[in-house]
Amino acid sequence: MKKNIIYSFLSLILATLNAAQAQQLHGLKPYELVNRQYIDTHHCEKFATIQVQDFQGRIKPISTLALELIRKIYGKNSFDYINKENQKKQLTSIQVFIGMQYKPDSWQLLEFIKIEKKAIPKLKELIKINTSGHSSASQFFDFKGNYKLKSMVSSAYTKSPGKRTVFDKDIIKIDERLNIVWSIFNGQFLKIFPKIDDPNLTWYSPVTSEIEFNKNDKHFVNKIIPTYFSYLDLGIEKGNWQKANETIELIKSFQQKNGKAILLSDKKVNTEIWFNKNHIFLWCLIGYTCFGSLLMLLSFIRILKKYKTTIKRLIAVVMFFLVGVFILHAFGIALRWYISGHAPWSNGYEASIFIAWIGMLAGFGFSKNSSFTPAAASILAICLLGIAHGSLMNPEITNLVPVLKSYWLLIHVAVITASYGFLALGSLLSLITLLLMCIYTLTNKQETDNTIQKLTNTNQLTSTIGLYMLTIGTFLGGIWANESWGRYWGWDPKETWALISIIIYSFVLHIRIIIPKNYLYTYNVCSLLALGSLIMTFFGVNYYLSGLHSYAKGDPFPIPKWIYIMIPIIFLITIIPLFKKAVAKKSTLMHYGQKS
Residue 359 lies in a domain: yes
Q: How far apart are CA 218 and CA 173, in angstroms?
A: 36
- The pLDDT of residue 15: 47
Residues 242 and 283 in one domain: no
Residues 62 and 208 in one domain: yes
Q: What is the mean pLDDT of residues 556-574?
A: 76
Range of the structural domain that residue 317 is part of? 279-557
Q: What is the 3-state secondary structure (H, E, C) of 417-437?
A: HHHHHHHHHHHHHHHHHHHHH
From residue 268, give the alpha-carbon distance in Å to each of 203, 449, 503, 564: 19, 53, 45, 45
Helix, strand or coil, per DSSP, at residue 342: coil
Region for residue 400 given its phi and psi (left: phi exceeds 0; alpha: psi -120 to 50; beta: otherwise) = beta
Q: What angle do CA 574, 534, 424 make, to 5 degrees?
A: 65
Q: What is the mean pLDDT of residues 268-284?
A: 94
**CB-CB contact of 90 with 78 (8 Å):** yes
User: Per-residue confidence at 125, pLDDT binned at 50, 70, 90?
Assistant: confident
Q: pLDDT exceeding 70 applies to what percent of the chain?
A: 88
Whether 441 has a pLDDT exceeding 70, the answer reads: no
Whether 553 has a pLDDT exceeding 60, the answer reads: no
Of all helices (H) and strands (E), which one includes residue 324? helix 308-340
- The pLDDT of residue 152: 92
- In this structure, the chain runs to a length of 596
Least confident of 68-72, 257-261, 381-385, 589-593: 589-593
Residue 538 lies in a domain: yes
Of all helices (H) and strands (E), which one includes residue 278? helix 266-278
Beta bridge partners of 114: 134
Cβ partners under 8 Å of residue 554, min gap 6: 348, 392, 393, 542, 543
Residue 568 lies in a domain: no
Residues 244 and 283 in one domain: no
pLDDT, tens digit (0-9, with 9 covering 90-100), for 129-146: 999 999 999 889 887 778
From residue 48, give the alpha-carbon distance in Å to each of 36, 61, 235, 404, 428: 21, 6, 17, 30, 43
Whether 312 has a pLDDT exceeding 60, the answer reads: yes
- The pLDDT of residue 5: 47
- The pLDDT of residue 369: 80
**CB-CB contact of 65 with 54 (8 Å):** yes
Q: What is the mean pLDDT of residues 145-167?
A: 87
The total of other beta-carbon atoms located within 10 Å of residue 19's CB is 7
pLDDT, tens digit (0-9, with 9 covering 90-100), for 444-469: 677 788 888 999 999 999 999 999 99
Chain-wide mean pLDDT for the chain? Answer: 86
Residue 64 lies in a domain: yes
Residue 565 lies in a domain: no
Count the helix, strand and coil residues of the chain and give each as a percent rounded to the nearest 5. Answer: 70, 5, 25
Residues 28 and 172 in one domain: yes
Residues 219 and 301 in one domain: no
Residue 257 lies in a domain: no
User: Per-residue confidence at 552, pLDDT binned at 50, 70, 90?
Assistant: very low
Domain count, the chain: 2
The total of other beta-carbon atoms located within 10 Å of residue 247's CB is 20
Phi and psi torsions of 450, nearest 5°: -65, -45
pLDDT, tens digit (0-9, with 9 covering 90-100), for 404-435: 788 888 888 899 999 999 999 999 999 999 98
- The pLDDT of residue 363: 94
- The pLDDT of residue 56: 87
Residues 220 and 302 in one domain: no
**CB-CB contact of 81 with 36 (8 Å):** no
The predicted model scores a pTM of: 0.86
Residues 234 and 312 in one domain: no
Residues 201 and 350 in one domain: no
pLDDT, tens digit (0-9, with 9 covering 90-100), for 323-376: 999 999 999 999 999 999 888 888 888 989 999 999 999 999 998 888 999 999
Residues 148 and 285 in one domain: no
- The pLDDT of residue 22: 56
Whether 523 has a pLDDT exceeding 90, the answer reads: yes
Q: What is the mean pLDDT of residues 223-236?
A: 93
Q: What is the 3-state secondary structure (H, E, C) of 355-419?
A: HHHHHHHHHHHCCCCCCHHHHHHHHHHHHHHHHHCCCCCCCCCCCCCHHHCCCHHHHHHHHHHHH
Q: What is the mean pLDDT of residues 208-234?
A: 87
Residue 526 lies in a domain: yes
Residues 402 and 529 in one domain: yes
- The pLDDT of residue 558: 58
From residue 532, give the alpha-carbon distance in Å to each of 376, 528, 535: 17, 8, 5
pLDDT, tens digit (0-9, with 9 covering 90-100), for 4-50: 545 444 555 544 444 455 567 777 888 889 998 999 999 999 999 99
Is 473 buried (19+), middle (13-18) or exposed (0-12) by CB count in 10 A? buried
Residue 422 lies in a domain: yes
User: Per-residue confidence at 80, pLDDT binned at 50, 70, 90?
Assistant: very high
Least confident of 159-163, 277-281, 322-326: 159-163
Residues 284 and 171 in one domain: no
- The pLDDT of residue 590: 54
Q: What is the mean pLDDT of residues 210-218?
A: 81
Helix, strand or coil, per DSSP, at residue 114: strand
Least confident of 61-65, 414-418, 439-443: 439-443
Residues 340 and 229 in one domain: no
Instruction: Tell which wins on pLDDT, 542 or 467.
Output: 467
**Torsion sign (Cα): 517, 523, 526, 528:** negative
Instruction: Tell which wins on pLDDT, 236 or 19.
Output: 236
